[in-house]
Structure 1
Amino acid sequence: MKSDQIRGPVLSLFRMVTGLLFVCHGAATIFGVLGGNRGTGHAVAFGTWPGWWAAAIQLVFGTLVLAGLLTRVSALLCSGSMAYAYFTVHAPQGLFPIRNGGEAAAMFCWSFFLIAVFGPGAWALDTLIHRLRHHEVETYAPAPAQA
Structure 2
Amino acid sequence: MAFDRIDRQIMALLQDDGRMTNVDLAERVGLTAPPCLRRVRALEEAGAIRGYHAELDAAKLGFPITVFAMVSLRSQAEHDLTLFEEHVATIPEVRECHMLNGEIDFILKIVAQDLRAFQEILTTHLTPAPNVAGVKTSLTIRTAKALSGIPVVPE
Identify the structure with the greater strand proportion.
Answer: 2
Greater RCO, CA 8 A, separation 6+ = 2
Under TM normalisation by the shorter chain, which class is it? under 0.3
**TM-score (norm: length of structure 2):** 0.23
